[in-house]
Amino acid sequence: MATITVEGKEVEVDEEGYLVNLSDWFPEVATEMAKIDEVEMGDDHWDIINFLREYYEEYQIAPAVRVLTKAVAKKLGKEKGNSKYLYELFPYGPGKQACKFAGLPKPTGCV
Amino acid sequence: MAMLHTVNKSPFERNSLNSCLSKSKEGSTILLIEDAVVGALKGTKVAEQMAAAIANKNVCVLGSDLNTRGFAETDILDGIKIVDYAGFVDMVAEHSNVQSWL
Amino acid sequence: MSDGIKKFMFVNTKAPYGTVYALESLEVVLISAAFDQDVSLVFCDDGVFQIMDKQNTEASGMKNFSNAYKALGDYDINKLYVEKESLEERGLTLDSLMDLTYEDEDDDWAEKPSINLVSRAELADLMDQQDVVISS
C-alpha cells in the first residue's frame, strides 16, 4: 500500500492517491496532496474543500461534479458555482481532485 | 437446558422466522438479529404470530440492529426483551445449544 | 423516445444492512444521474425499510448510508414512489420515513416532497410506463 508523509506521519493512500482511511485526514494532508499535484492552495481552494467535507458529513457521499457546482452556486454564489471556476482551482477535476484533497472517496457517479 | 434460536432474515421476505416459531419448544429462547429484527415490530402482519410465541417462549431482539434500522424500544411488541452484544454472548454461553435459522 | 431520454425505474425491494442490495442500488442510482435520464425510484416490500427515519448505526458500527437518500434531490431525482400496502403490512406509515424533499427550479426553488404514496395497482401502471426497470 502506498503512503504519503505529512508532518512526519505516514498516511495510507490508494493507487489513485485517495486516502484509505477517511479518519486519517487533517488539513496538512490536503496541502501535501496539493503539492504532489502541483496545485498551490489558497483560500478559494479551502472554501471548496471545507464545503466538500461538510457535504460528506451530512450526506455520507462525495457529490458528483454537477451536484457540487449547483450546491456551491447556492452557498458561495454563482461566480464560484460554475465549472470553469472550479476547474481553474482543481485542474484534474473539481470532483476527483478536490475530493481527494478533502480526504473523501472518489465521487459516486464520477465516470 | 433450553435451546437458543437465532433468526436473521426478514419475516416479510423469507419463511425462516415461521420455521423457527413452529419448530422451537416452549421455554426456549428466540433472538431476532440483523434483518429479522423487524419481526418484533408492533402492527405488522406477523405480530399475531409473534404474540403467540411471546406467550410461552423467551423472545428477544438485538438492540443495536434495531437502532441501525431506525427503530426504538417503543416500536416493538410488549414482552420482547432487548439485548446488547454482551447479552447476546451471555445467551450463547447460557444455552446448551444454538440453532441458527438462516 | 426521440430526444434520447429514457424512463428508468429502480425498484428497491430489500431491507438495508442485512444484504448489500440497497447500498449497491443507491450507488447505481447516483451514477445514473450523470446521464440526464428520467429516473424514478420505487420502495416496496422490505425496500420501504431503506428510507426509515432515525437510522442509528452507532452501536452496530455499520456505515449509515441513509443520509445519502437526502441528497437525491440535489441529483434531480425527485420521483420516489412508496407502496402503501408494503408500509401497512409492516406496521409503518409515511411518518415513519425520512422527510425527503427537492427544490423545484421552476418554482423559485420551493421545497417540495419527493415521496409519493401509491397503491400496488398504481405501481403496476407506473412500471408499465417505463423504458427500463431495474430491480434489487
Per-residue pLDDT, B1: 65
Active-site residue, A110 included:
yes
Q: Hunting for cell 486516502 — which residue is that? A: A19
Which domains, and CATH codes, for chain C?
7-135 (3.40.1260.10)
Is C133 at the interface with chain A, CB within 8 A?
A: no
CATH of the domain at A58: 1.10.10.370
Which residue does chain C place closest to B41, by CA atoms? C91
Burial of A76 (0-12, 13-18, 19+ CB in 10 A): middle
**Secondary structure of chain A in the HEC alphabet?**
CEEEEECCEEEEECCCCCECCHHHCCHHHHHHHHHHCCCCCCHHHHHHHHHHHHHHHHHCCCCCHHHHHHHHHHHHCCCCCCHHHHHHHCCCCCCHHHHHHCCCCCCCCCC
- On whether residue A12 sits in a domain, the answer given is yes
Share of residues in chain C with pLDDT > 70 (%) = 99
C89 closest CB neighbour out of B45, B64, B72: B45
Is there a contact between B44 and C53 if contact means CB atoms under 8 Å apart? Answer: no
- What confidence category does residue C2 fall into, taking pLDDT thresholds of 50, 70 and 90? low
First and final C-alpha spacing in chain B: 23
Q: Do chains A and B touch (3 or more CB pairs under 8 A)?
A: no
- Interface partners of A (3+ CB pairs, < 8 Å)? C
Residue-number span of the structural domain to which A86 is assigned: 2-101
Query: How far is A45 from A77, CA to CA, in rounded Å?
Result: 15
Which residue does chain B place closest to C62, by CA atoms? B68
Number of domains in chain A: 1
pLDDT tens digits for range C55-99: 999 999 999 999 999 999 999 999 999 999 999 999 999 999 999
CATH of the domain at B45: 3.40.1260.10
Look up residue B6 and give its three cell numbers: 437465532
Per-residue pLDDT, B13: 95
pLDDT 10s per residue in chain A (111 long)?
Answer: 799 999 999 999 998 899 999 999 999 999 999 999 999 999 999 999 999 999 999 999 998 888 889 889 888 888 888 889 999 999 998 888 999 999 998 886 554
Is C70 at the interface with chain B, CB within 8 A?
A: no
* pLDDT at residue C33 greater than cutoff 90: no
Cβ(B22)–Cβ(B48) under 8 Å?
Answer: no
Per-residue pLDDT, C73: 94
- On whether residue A111 sits in a domain, the answer given is no
Which residue does chain C place closest to B72, by CA atoms? C54
Candidates C17, C90, C97, C100: best to mutate against B (most CBs of B within 10 A) is C90
Distance of residue C32 Cα from the nearest chain A Cα, in angstroms: 7
Nearest to residue C84, comparing CAs of C126, C127, C116?
Answer: C116
Which residue does chain C place closest to B69, by CA atoms? C55
Residue-number span of the structural domain to which B15 is assigned: 3-101
Cβ(C29)–Cβ(C10) under 8 Å?
Answer: yes
The strand pair at B29-32 and B3-7 is best described as parallel
* Tally of CB atoms within 10 A around C88: 13
Query: How far is C87 from C85, CA to CA, in rounded Å?
Result: 5
Per-residue pLDDT, A109: 57
C-alpha C48: how far from chain center = 9
C46 closest CB neighbour out of B10, B70, B72: B10
- On whether residue A58 sits in a domain, the answer given is yes
**Secondary structure of B39-94 in the HEC alphabet?**
HHECCECCHHHHHHHHHHCEEEEEHHHHHHCCCCHHHECCCCEEECHHHHHHHHHH
Q: Which residues of A touch C68 (CB under 8 A)?
A: 59-61
Catalytic pick among A25, A39, A110, A111: A110
- On whether residue A107 sits in a domain, the answer given is no
* pLDDT at residue C132 greater than cutoff 50: yes
C53, amino acid identity: D
A60 closest CB neighbour out of C67, C74, C75: C67
Segment B76-83 mean pLDDT: 98
Complex-level ipTM: 0.88
Per-residue pLDDT, A110: 55
Number of domains in chain B: 1
A82, amino acid identity: N
